[in-house]
Amino acid sequence: MDPRDILSIVFLLAAAPFFLAGTIGLLRFPDVFCRLHALTKADNLGLGLIVIGLALQADTWLQSARLLLIWLLVMLSGATVAHLIARTALRAGRKPWSGRS
């Protein structure tokens, strides 16, 4: 097996836990602020690992660049949205979970 393939497989397989963690976090974390963490993990790392895994397989640099662009866009949107949602939740008077409740 081509070492590039092995590397790809490693990256792709590594991505799965992040998405699972994102979902489980979404389900299990106590409040909206914590859940934001879950979301951003999936965005940044899960998708990032997939992008890297696939970019290794790409035939041309252009395809890899396209993949990277998609990742960057998702991260950019994710960060902005996370910030705005957190701000909305704060202004709506929700207190971040402090671990005591």
Partner 1 sequence: MTELCAGLALFLLVTIVLGLIRIRRGPSDADRMLSAQLFGTTGVAILLLLGQATDRSFWWDVALVFALLSAVTAIAFVSRTEPAETAQEQRDEHGS
Partner 2 sequence: MTPGLLLLFDLLLPAVLLWLAWRSLTSSDLFRAVILFIAFSLLLALAWVRMEAPDVALAEAAIGAGVTGALLLVALARIESAAGRRLSPSARWRSAALVLTGTALLAAAAGLLWSLRLLPTMPGGLGPLVDRHLAESGVDHPVTAVLLNFRGYDTLLEVGVLLLAAIAIWCLDEAVPFLQQPLESQLLTGFNRMMLPILLLSSGYLLWLGSHAPGGAFQAASLLAAGMLLALFSGASLPAQWSGLPLRLLLVLGFFAFLAAAIIGPLTGRALLHYPPAWEKPLILLVEWLLTLSIALILTAAVIGGRPTGSRLYPPPSSPSAEGRRQ
Residue ranges in contact with partner 1 by CB under 8 A: 5, 8-9, 12-13, 15-16, 19-20, 22-24, 26-27, 32, 35-36, 38-39, 42-43, 46-47, 50-51, 54, 57, 63, 66-67, 69-70, 73-74, 76-78, 80-81, 84-85, 87-89, 91-92, 94
* DSSP states of 68-92: HHHHHHHHHHHHHHHHHHHHHHHHT
Q: Which tokens sit at 61?
A: 């640099």
Rounded to whole angstroms, how far apart are CA atoms 93 and 62?
47
Which of 76, 90, 95, 96 binds partner 2 (CB under 8 A)? It is: 76
Determine, following the binding rule CB under 8 A, whether residue 80 of this chain makes contact with partner 2.
yes
